[in-house]
Amino acid sequence: MEIDQKFLELKEKGEGAYMPHIYYGDPNEEFSLELVKTLVSNGADLIEFGIPFSDPIADGTTFIEACERALKTRMTPIQRIEGVRKLRRIGVEVPIVLTTYYNIPYTIGLQIFAKQVKEAGVQGLIIPDLPVEEATEFLEATKEFDLKMIFLVAPTTDDARLRKIVEIASGFLYVINMEGVTGTRESVVQSTLDLIKRVRDCTDLPLMAGFGISRKEHALAMLSAGVDGIITGSAITEIYSKNLHSPEMSLPDIAKFAGEMKQACVEGYNR
Amino acid sequence: MNLQGTHGSNGRFGRFGGRYVSEVLMQVLIELEEAFESYYPTVEFQRELGVLLKDYGGRPTPLYYAKNFSELIGCKVYLKREDLLCGGSHKLNNSLGQALLAEKMRKKRLITETAAGQHGISAAMAGNVLGLEVEIFMGIRDMERQESNVKRMRLLGARVTPVKTGSGNLKDAVSDTLREWATCTRTTHYLMGSTVGPHPFPEIVATFQSVIGKEIKEQIVEKEGKLPDAIVACGSGGSNAIGAFRPFIGEDEVRLYFVEGGGSSLDADNSAAAFVLGKPGILHGAAMMVMQDEQAQIKASKTRAVGLNYPARGPEISHLCETRRVESGYAFDHEVFEAVRVMCKTEGLLPALETAHALAYVLNHHDEFDQDSILVVNYSGRGDKDLETIAGYFYGN
């Protein structure tokens, strides 16, 4: 399913979107497949599918460790992209947004990367260290593959750059909740609420809020402030990383967490 | 070829450089670029920085004709004595400049990373002089290897934060400093220690370090009546080398040599020679020559010289080597220790292990320079910090 279609469908149903973020292969491939299945059957509307990188500068401790563990499996980035194909084969139909750091496509070759990603069944891309100013070459090389290019906006982004970003962004906008890196936090700050208002005023693209969301209250606050959905990442990894020898034992807790987040997306949307 | 100044090119040096960072850092980098362009050229900034470099730092540093070392090499060798700059290395040139800039920008705090500890010390010094708080991120393994410098930084009042991610060295410390910066850009300046990182850092650091090359130019003309035939400098990110090279880049007759850390051998996982073992990639916000594995993951570098232990080469030195304006070479650890011994014996100077790479290169390649050649080695730092390591190598622990 395409990303635009998913947001339309949710709008009709009157629900906010929930997108969990995982790093594929943490701690092994079999678990990641089970994890995505669990997330989707418990309310995930989209999946953010992470290809790990050795130096994830936009990630906090939880995801740094997730990347380190995932990299121990020695899978190549291309093999991980194949994971999307496997998910499609086992019946995962929701839009998949692939996220990775720019060295991966840069080194593989921009076109080869985009082609592989598209053919595996990906709908959109997030490259956190590729700001709009540096994206021209990438967009040019990959435009034939019709992948949505999701850009990030932060509380520090000024209005001039905001306009530049919404001009070339597609799919949705990733609203960085706070100044910092990924990871769970205690509360939602005022600068985030201001940001949501500023972004809302200059685009009709759906807004997905991420970084620091780990509780139902966060999700409700974000939805009430006007975003179309929320992203959680580290919060899920924190659940299974307590039990890395048999991470599948954590799946019921993860199912419960995902269910609550989706529930918050529904409640928050209707407030 | 436009090599000096990058206005309007978004910090590009050929295909290297750029600004590959999270959106959270974009605004502060733009703000920094604008601040640098508006403050740096002013008479006031130049005067304040000039006074700090002279009266606090001890500039100009001498250009010393190393007679005994020259006899051994078979040509005239001059040492640009950055070891005599306050703090014991060239690092203070950049730290004073950036701390002054941070103060103008009304930042309250400096954060930075360090490997050998030389940059950390200079940042702590500059922070104190300019009244800014200082926090230094240092790989946990580097903290063990450079214990005396950790003590110095703490004595100067800096907070030293151990970095435990990755392999606990410089690469990981840079990553963690960037992460910390993302949380506090409004109050804090990242005092980048080398000519690496997102634009405008490579340009800013190069500008502040090029005081080295400007002095070399004046001093050598005064002593020899002409420009040198070659300049040799060690490096990883490239700040001392770029600093020495910049004023000579347009002087085609001056050969420029960049010496990286060969480690124990060029085999996998034993080296820091990114120009031999690396390829273009993106790390820490810039396109650079970088060591990586077949999975497009950045590899850890290895060398006994902690300050050269970085798997990437800065954008400008990457470009200068790719276009062959600068010739790159390397020295192995055992050659470096031998160079330390030779310098101690011939000139009574204990060089830093990093600096000794440039000396080892000259020793290895002495037959490429004829008798009348004039060589300048950028003698980037003193070796007190490496005493334990060096003594351990020669006499056992």
Asked if residue B37 lies in contact with residue B101, where contact means CB atoms within 8 angstroms, the answer is no
Considering chain B, what is the average pLDDT of its residues?
Answer: 95
> Is A104 near chain B, with CB under 8 Å?
yes
| Model confidence at A104: pLDDT above 80 | yes
Q: Is B113 a catalytic residue?
A: yes
Q: How much is the CA Rg of chain B, to the nearest whole Å?
A: 19
Core vs surface per residue B33-59: b (16+ CB within 10 A) or e: bebbeebbeeeebeebbeebbeeebeb
What's the token pair of residue B255? 């050969």
State the residue for tokens 């004039």.
B374
Q: Is A59 a catalytic residue?
A: yes
CA within 13 Å, CB half, A66: 32
Residue A264, SS3 per DSSP = helix
What's the token pair of residue B223? 């002593």
Considering chain A, what is the average pLDDT of its residues?
Answer: 94
Contact B282 A60 (CB under 8 A): no
Residue type, B218: E
Longest alpha-carbon distance in chain A: 49
Q: What is the pLDDT of residue A271?
A: 78
Q: What is the pLDDT of residue A189?
A: 73
Measure the CA–CA gap between B259 and A178, rounded to whole angstroms: 42
Contact A55 B21 (CB under 8 A): no
Domains, chain B, with CATH or none: 23-53+91-206 (3.40.50.1100), 58-88+210-395 (3.40.50.1100)
Write the DSSP symbol of residue A51: P
- pLDDT per position as a tens digit, B197-250: 999 999 999 999 999 999 999 999 999 999 999 999 999 999 999 999 999 999
- Tell me how close the Cα of B177 comes to any Cα of chain A, in angstroms: 9
Angle between helices A159-168 and B23-39 (to 10 degrees): 130
Contact B166 A54 (CB under 8 A): yes
Residue type, B373: S
What's the token pair of residue A75? 């899978």
| Model confidence at B2: pLDDT above 70 | no
Q: Is B380 a catalytic residue?
A: yes
| Model confidence pTM above 0.90 | yes
Mutate to test the interface with A, among B6, B21, B297 (most CBs of A within 10 A): B297
- pLDDT per position as a tens digit, B125-163: 999 999 999 999 999 988 988 888 999 999 999 999 999
| Average pLDDT of the segment spanning B381-395 | 94
CA within 13 Å, CB half, B55: 7
> Is A23 near chain B, with CB under 8 Å?
no
| Model confidence at B5: pLDDT above 50 | no
ipTM for this model? 0.94
Measure the CA–CA gap between B276 and B266, rounded to whole angstroms: 8
Of B28, B171, B279, the CB nearest to A55: B171
Which stretches of chain A are assigned E, i.e. beta strand? 17-23, 47-50, 96-99, 124-126, 148-150, 152-153, 173-176, 207-210, 229-232
| Average pLDDT of the segment spanning A155-164 | 94
Write the DSSP symbol of residue B382: B
- pLDDT per position as a tens digit, A175-192: 998 766 666 665 567 778
| Average pLDDT of the segment spanning A75-102 | 97
Contact A75 B295 (CB under 8 A): yes
Asked if residue A188 lies in contact with residue A179, where contact means CB atoms within 8 angstroms, the answer is no
Residue B392 makes CB contacts below 8 A (sequence gap 6+) with none
- What number of residues does chain B have? 397
* Partners of residue B382 on adjacent β-strands: B351
Domains, chain A, with CATH or none: 3-149+227-261 (3.20.20.70)
Q: What is the pLDDT of residue A184?
A: 63
Mutate to test the interface with B, among A67, A82, A100, A107 (most CBs of B within 10 A): A107
Residue B7 makes CB contacts below 8 A (sequence gap 6+) with B37
Measure the CA–CA gap between B227 and B110, rounded to whole angstroms: 38
| Average pLDDT of the segment spanning B64-72 | 98
Q: What is the pLDDT of residue B267?
A: 87
